[in-house]
Amino acid sequence: MGILHLIFVLFNFRTLGRLYARINQQFPGVMDQLWEQQSFARKIDVVFGFAVFAKRAMLMNFAVMNLDKLPVYLLGDDQIAALVRKLNTGMSAGIYRFFCTVTGYR
């Protein structure tokens, strides 16, 4: 799934960058907490699987596949909620969900 993370991160690079920056600005330290919540296997898959932007790949997974694991208070910020909505309504979101389901990366 690593190369696919890179492809989907590149498709949504700008939106993920804005989301990452907004979360870091409004809620410092949350990105590190989210990264620590990931299992060792997921970290290995993201880091060693061609995903140059590991935390953006993690954000893509949280925002599109595992929205229920994203802390609710983050979605209380209008800009963060709009960026998450944009990621979910984008053309690549359906394809990303399909590949995550097929590969078992949920």
How many domains in the chain?
A: 1
What per-residue confidence (pLDDT) applies to 50? 56
Q: Tell me the per-residue pLDDT of 24-82, one tens digit each, with 9 for 90 and over.
A: 999 999 988 988 887 777 777 666 655 568 888 888 888 998 888 888 999 999 999 99
**Residue 106 domain flag:** no
**Residue 36 domain flag:** yes
Token output for 102: 């097929």
The HSE-up count of residue 84 (CA atoms within 13 Å, CB side) is 22
pTM of the model: 0.85
- Residue-number span of the structural domain to which 71 is assigned: 2-101
What per-residue confidence (pLDDT) applies to 2? 65
What per-residue confidence (pLDDT) applies to 14? 94
**Residue 19 domain flag:** yes
Name the nearest CA neighbour of 55 among 98, 13, 86. Answer: 13
CB 57 within 8 A of CB 51: yes
Euclidean distance between CA atoms 12 and 42, whole angstroms: 20
CB 13 within 8 A of CB 51: no
What per-residue confidence (pLDDT) applies to 51? 56
